[in-house]
Chain A
Amino acid sequence: MLHLLKIEWLKIRNYRAFWVLFSLFIIAVLGINYIAWYIKTQIEQDAGKMIGSLVGGPFSFPEVWQTVGWMTSWLLYFPGFIMIFLVTNEYTFRTHRQNIIDGLNRHQFVWVKLWVATILAVLSTVMMILASLLFGILSKGGTFEFESLKYVGYFFIMAMVYMLFAFMLALLLRRAALAVGIFFIFGLIFDNVLANMVNQQMESKLGTYLMPIDVADQLIPFPFLKSVSSTVMKQANEWICLAICAAWIAFYHWFALRKFDKEDL
């Protein structure tokens, strides 16, 4: 596998779009959390401690893991786009055929891409950890505790779901523009709308459990206004969401391997 990853590295090393997108992602992670942090401190300063306490202290330890995780998850589309480009490039340049002709087998070709998805998820999680530490230290007060570290793990699972969903779209559509468009619009809008519609009809969280992105989004719940949101919004069951995410991750692996194995390239 290390040898296969080295080959992927040769493809990425001088791929400018990758470096541009990845740099933007790093800056954006810091940026989006800074914006939220800035607004929060402004509210505390201007509106006083009363409203400030209503907002909560989401940037101090231990809440910072959840807050930064939730904010950063909005940016998972960036590594998702990278994932899509790395796969659709192969189709566009027809190098998916050439790689096989030159001596990869079909499973190797898919497995290394699944590993790339995992690496992108790990890198995203590393960014989330760094941003959490940074803003946690910036916000005074609060104590470090281990229980909230679960959000690091949840963020990683969420990132895996996003990367693999992007991978599946790229495999199915083969074209970058189409895959990026559908990934973005579906993940941001349709997935949510459909989930909420079903939830409303069934008066349960069924819609959330059915939608591939929404179910992952539930792992890190809305961190602000906790005192209000926890009474207004019904929370999805954490363990059910985790199980469904694991099932999706397994399904994406199976689907990708099977699709690439059976079809004409």
Chain B
Amino acid sequence: MQVVLEINNLSKNYGPVQALKNVNLQVPAGTVYGILGPNGSGKTTMLGIIMDILRPTLGYVKLFGETPNEHHRKKIGTLLETPNFYHYLSGKENLEIAAAIKGVANPDIDGVLEKVNLAQRKNSKFQTYSLGMKQRLAIASCLVGNPEVMVFDEPTNGLDPVGIAEIRDLIKKLAREGKTIIMASHLLDEVEKVCTHVAILKKGVMIASGHVDEILVQDDVAEVSADDGHALLQALQVMPGKTNLHPTDEGRMAIHFPPGTANLAALNQHCFNHGLVLNYLQIKRKSLEMKFLELTNE
């Protein structure tokens, strides 16, 4: 499979601060690759280096298998950090500039504005736009020239819930058309809903990368309690198939099983066989935020 983006041993220092440490990544064509990490984890720095607006301290980047130059960037629609447009120009005029820079001969500017629901305000000055409209214009700008690769940095920033849903649908639609999309986000559910692959950044270090189903795998967790906590602990320790066992904040016990293998009846039977009657038994999905914190905390 063709590799759209390759990052090798990339490091970036801002004075004494190390924003990226030895990051490696490969983005195959046709994937929706999420870059997940909390604020300040180095996502935008990484994308900035790819787009040549930041200089790496060490390491290198390749686009389409080559050392990046402006001709590669013309073929990529990029929204980085904030929508950057000329305030005194209208949305349409701003996109005309973007199209001219990209060298798009006959840009369908009305069409892309239509796609992000901005057609009605296309002749208003950018400075009169709301935050959400600015974000939509930035996404429209990425669509100019119908590029095969798109980079979105926090694409749903500043949008209302309807806008968020629209943009996520748009990204999924683009993915179905076979586009390669690299999307940075601090929202785990966004990455989970939209992306096929994910790389997790934490304080400039890439701690995991791969298919979403492999990285964001979620254990089945059952919570149980009984009158005799000590006996319960002993019984659960010999429960076959468990992967983890720990007390919860409510004083119950949480027992983990590999995804899709928790069987409450078997668990109940197991405890009963050990002479215990459970007074609480419930399967709990571990929340995604918990998973995220687990991944990004020590």
Q: Are B73 and A10 in contact, CB atoms less than 8 angstroms apart?
A: no
* B-facing residues in A211-265 (Cβ within 8 Å): 262-265
Q: Are B98 and A102 in contact, CB atoms less than 8 angstroms apart?
A: yes
* B-facing residues in A80-102 (Cβ within 8 Å): 89, 93-95, 97-102
Q: Are A103 and B86 in contact, CB atoms less than 8 angstroms apart?
A: no
Q: How far is the CB of A11 from chain B (nearest CB, A)?
A: 6
In the bound complex, CA of A10 to CA of B54 (Å): 26
Chain B residues with CB under 8 A of A105: 52, 69-70
Q: Does B82 contact A (CB under 8 A)?
A: yes
Q: Are B70 and A94 in contact, CB atoms less than 8 angstroms apart?
A: no
Q: Are B97 and A10 in contact, CB atoms less than 8 angstroms apart?
A: yes
* A-facing residues in B140-182 (Cβ within 8 Å): 141
In the bound complex, CA of A3 to CA of B100 (Å): 8
Chain B residues with CB under 8 A of A7: 97, 100-101
Q: Does A14 contact B (CB under 8 A)?
A: yes
Q: Are B82 and A101 in contact, CB atoms less than 8 angstroms apart?
A: no
Q: Are A100 and B84 in contact, CB atoms less than 8 angstroms apart?
A: no
Q: How far is the CB of A107 from chain B (nearest CB, A)?
A: 10
Q: Does A15 contact B (CB under 8 A)?
A: yes
In the bound complex, CA of A100 to CA of B69 (Å): 10
Q: When A10-B93, A100-B51, A108-B70 are in contact, do A94 and B100 touch as well, CB less than 8 Å? A: no
Q: Does A174 contact B (CB under 8 A)?
A: no
In the bound complex, CA of A264 to CA of B14 (Å): 10
Indicate which residue in B82, B89, B101 contacts A102 across the interface (CB closer than 8 Å): B101
Q: Are B82 and A94 in contact, CB atoms less than 8 angstroms apart?
A: yes
In the bound complex, CA of A43 to CA of B28 (Å): 82
Chain A residues with CB under 8 A of B80: 97-98, 101
Indicate which residue in B52, B85, B102 contacts A95 across the interface (CB closer than 8 Å): B85
Indicate which residue in A11, A15, A95, A103 contacts B74 across the interface (CB closer than 8 Å): A103
Indicate which residue in A6, A15, A17, A93 contacts B84 across the interface (CB closer than 8 Å): A93
Q: Are B52 and A100 in contact, CB atoms less than 8 angstroms apart?
A: yes
Shortest Cβ distance from A262 into B: residue: B55
Chain B residues with CB under 8 A of A101: 51-53, 73, 78, 80
In the bound complex, CA of A263 to CA of B53 (Å): 8
Q: Does A54 contact B (CB under 8 A)?
A: no
Q: When A7-B100, A10-B100, A106-B52 are in contact, do A16 and B88 touch as well, CB less than 8 Å? A: yes
Q: Are A102 and B54 in contact, CB atoms less than 8 angstroms apart?
A: no
Q: Are A102 and B69 in contact, CB atoms less than 8 angstroms apart?
A: no
Q: Does B87 contact A (CB under 8 A)?
A: yes
Q: Which residues of A contact B (CB under 8 A)?
A: 3, 6-7, 10-11, 14-17, 89, 93-95, 97-106, 108, 262-265
Q: Which residues of B contact A (CB under 8 A)?
A: 48, 51-55, 69-71, 73-74, 78, 80, 82, 84-89, 93, 96-98, 100-103, 141
10 shortest interchain CB distances as A-B pairs: A103-B74, A98-B84, A94-B84, A105-B70, A102-B101, A265-B53, A103-B73, A101-B51, A97-B53, A264-B54
9 contacts between A and B (CB under 8 A): A10-B97, A11-B97, A15-B86, A16-B88, A97-B80, A100-B51, A102-B73, A105-B69, A264-B48
Given A89-B86, A93-B86, A95-B85, 14 new contacts (CB under 8 A)? A3-B103, A7-B100, A10-B100, A11-B86, A14-B93, A15-B86, A15-B89, A17-B88, A97-B84, A100-B52, A102-B102, A104-B70, A105-B52, A264-B48
